Amino acid sequence: MAKEAGVSLQTVSRVVNNGPNVTDAMRERVRAAIDKLGYVPNMAARRMGGSKSYLLVAFNDRKPTLEKWRAGRGSDWVAQMLLGAIPRCERDGYHLLLELLDGHSAKLHQKIDAIISSLRPDGVILTPPHSQDRSIIDQLEHRKVPYARLSPGEDDERGFRVRMDERQAAVMATRHLLDLGHRRIGFLTGSAEYAVSTERLEGFRAAMADAGAAIAPEWVRQGEFSFESGIASADALFALRGPPTAIIASSDEQALAVLHRAKDMGLDVPADLSLISFDDTPPIAFSLPPLTAIRHPTAAMAERAAALLIEGHGLDMPPSPPCTLPFELVVRGSTVPPRR
């Protein structure tokens, strides 16, 4: 391989092991030779030769993930997270393993210890709500395992934090509806276990207050991120004497549920009801009508989290501000001015 790339064996070793003192051009030459020759590093040998395991582990929420998989709906959030993290790991010879954790299990910390002891990962990616769990963070720090937190909330500044501005995203979605002339706007929250649910609701309330628009308590529906929760919330809102003319849903599944229930009620979207979703997973663009949505940078966040861990940022690094990635409001056919 060194001959193919025209470099020394030491340079090849530094590239394969993600070492320092290698230019980007040299790194690309070695990687091109690796691709051409079909070289696959021996993971066992690499682990015996040093302290690295070349493995990252992502902790994801067990119950909702399994519920969606068993229902045949998959999990677009998990898919986007893997889309961001796996190619970044592949680039530097790392592997990514997904582990499902039940935050309410009495054996939660026992399972984490077993994972860390058996796999010895170079780092852990914490996804919500585990990225907000102080006890998990304490455990990883005690075990001296580097970690990166996706959507971590604002009450704990430890570790590497990768986020989007959920509050401002909700502000932008609400202002879009206000600019169209809507004043009766419903809001469907996600699970109270997730910090993003509170942040999005705060953004909605702030935008409505700035516009001098009152919020009837019954227009805000506490729920989960699921389709079933969206159905229940839609039924409650449509049963009101003065239902909202627009709804912001905190997940794509909720929004699709509202869309289905509106059709059952004989309501036209967007003529009778404008609708905005959060996340912008693939089904949203292909719904009828295609839904206006906040595009969440899930893949980019996971890629950044993996990069931080691969680049060797450890627990001894000084605290730093969170890495905030941009979101986008994608305007489609589900939002128009209300009927006069």
Please check the confidence at residue 14 and state whether its pLDDT lies above 80.
no
> Could you give the angle at which helices 76-91 and 298-310 cross, rounded to 10 degrees?
30
pTM of the shown model? 0.82
Whether the CB-CB separation of 92 and 18 falls below 8 Å is answered with: yes
User: What are the C-alpha distances in Å from 193 to residues 19, 110, 138, 198, 317?
Assistant: 40, 22, 19, 9, 29
pLDDT of residue 330: 97
Residues 19-31: what's their mean pLDDT? 67
Distance CA 309, CA 159 (A): 11
124 φ, ψ (degrees, to nearest 5): -125, 135
How many whole angstroms separate alpha carbon 43 and alpha carbon 41? 6
**Average confidence score pLDDT of the chain:** 88
**Radius of gyration of the chain from Cα atoms?**
23
Give which of 134, 149, 137 is closest to 320, Cα–Cα: 149
Report the distance separating Cα 318 and Cα 296, nearest Å: 28
DSSP per residue over 18-32, as a string? T-SS--HHHHHHHHH
C-beta separation of 165 from 138 below 8 A: no
pLDDT confidence of residue 324: 95
The CA-atom distances, in angstroms, between 272 and each of 158, 246, 263, 292 are 46, 8, 11, 15
pLDDT recorded at residue 7:
59
Q: Is the pLDDT of residue 44 over 50?
A: no
Q: Confidence class of residue 131 from pLDDT cuts 50, 70 and 90? A: very high
Distance separating alpha carbons of residues 153 and 196, to the nearest angstrom:
7
Q: What is the pLDDT of residue 48?
A: 46
| pLDDT for residue 49 | 45
pLDDT > 70 fraction of the chain, expressed in percent and rounded: 83
- Mean pLDDT, rounded, for 288-294: 95
| DSSP-assigned states of every residue in 59-95 | EEEHHHHHHHHHTT---HHHHHHHHHHHHHHHHTT-E
Say if residue 166's pLDDT is above 70: yes
